[in-house]
Amino acid sequence: MSEAYQECSRYQRCAVNKCPLDSNYKQMLTHKGDAERKCTSPRKKRVEIGNEYDDLAYGGLTGNEYTALSKFGNLPPNLANGVIPTPTVDAPIESGVQA
């Protein structure tokens, strides 16, 4: 089976090291020298892709998106099953940049 990030329409030209569609997302780091620091793929599309893969930490969401949705109580109860419907709350921009 392919990796989730390979399903992304931006995969061939993307330079984001900390991809929310990578199964190792939690271990990945963002560095201030990275060409691209933030995923520009639409959240709705990432979640659609994430629904097809059980090994993604946040189902295609960034850590900040996941945290914001969970704080507002918008995470579905079936998150543990790897099924995440399209989020309905706009989340803050991810700011975790490593020096």
Quick one: average pLDDT of 41-46?
Answer: 93
**What's the pLDDT tens digit per position in 86-96?**
444 454 545 45
Q: What is the pTM of this model?
A: 0.69
Q: Which domain holds residue 51?
A: 4-81
Q: Flag whether 94 is in a domain.
A: no
Query: In sequence order, what DSSP letters do the residues of 33-86 get, joined into one string?
Result: T-SB-S--S-HHHHHHHHTT-S--TTTT--HHHHHHHHHTT-S-GGGGGT--PP
Amino acid 80: pLDDT: 41
Quick one: average pLDDT of 36-46?
Answer: 92
| Total domains in the fold of the chain | 1
> CA-to-CA distance for 77 and 98, rounded, in angstroms?
32
Q: Flag whether 93 is in a domain.
A: no
**What's the pLDDT tens digit per position in 52-88?**
998 898 999 999 888 888 776 666 554 544 444 444 4
Q: Flag whether 95 is in a domain.
A: no
Residues 6+ apart with CB under 8 A from 4: 21, 22, 23, 49, 50, 52, 53, 55, 56, 60
